[in-house]
Structure 1
């Protein structure tokens, strides 16, 4: 699985992420919100092309699981051929639940009900994270557009054994967490 968040309408960043999707031979693309719009607090990114971003994502529509970010709206849904307005979604991996969310409603400070060994995958903060806290996985792929606090643009990758945050330009690991805690 490739995991991206906070595209904010930046076509060149999405093109890079989709190249990794193909290179890593992923079968599923998790999109954690803020797909097309830059948002009122963010600068307009270089390569801003919301319609182009929608068109690119639509090519992968049958492989996308998406959730709504705080910058996504019903108008965005009109451009996309896959559902993107759910506030959260659940993914079942090895009979354990992962809550997929953008991070502005549910997130590390407002967890959904999770059992030990389960986790939350979120975006919103533009800060990469892959770690177990109090027996629960906290994973944030960072942002492919507008990373914060000096972090490089990044995306997430899950190979069935570990969750990794990888640098968008090089694919170098930034953070890693094993899926099964022993």
Structure 2
């Protein structure tokens, strides 16, 4: 199982809730879809903004992190993080499906990379959760653990070989679910 989060934006309290949910989930890896430390020039500074604490907490589980660069991540952020953070995208296999991971500012549900029937496209950036089938692939956005938009709660996602789910970070209830069949 994969635990997917996005758009932490240096919010230490949100990260602590995220790491607790990751531990409870039993997932093998934490997939971080970017915008890890910096709040960005268009976003308000989070109430619990502590990017150095966020980096230190993530560094403690660095061997379990698969990350991609968000539009607010930079080489300065990488200097604090002990896991690779600056890849524009990453790809992995889950059973026989390719899982394409990116932040969502270059590739997005309207501009997909080359994917085969039944593959997964996983991105963040919009801060709005999504879990559905689009054209020929499955599309997942975990929402944001720190700055959700459009009235959604803070959320993360879980992916296993049979389904993908977006889960409320605070209440742990499933917000969206899509079978991978």
Give, in angstroms, the shift of residue 135 of structure 1.
2.3
Give, in angstroms, the shift of residue 84 of structure 1.
0.6
Give, in angstroms, the shift of residue 159 of structure 1.
3.3
Matching residue of 1:117? 118
CA separation in 1, counterparts of 2:138 and 2:26? 24
TM-score (structure 2 length as normaliser): 0.98
Matching residue of 1:26? 27
Give, in angstroms, the shift of residue 125 of structure 1.
0.1
Matching residue of 2:160? 159
CA separation in 2, counterparts of 1:169 and 1:67? 25
CA separation in 2, counterparts of 1:153 and 1:175? 13
Output aligned runs, 1:1-182, within 5 Å: 1-179=2-180, 181=181
CA separation in 2, counterparts of 1:177 and 1:134? 15
CA separation in 2, counterparts of 1:66 and 1:113? 20
TM-score (structure 1 length as normaliser): 0.97
CA separation in 1, counterparts of 2:95 and 2:160? 13
Unaligned runs of 5+ in 1: none
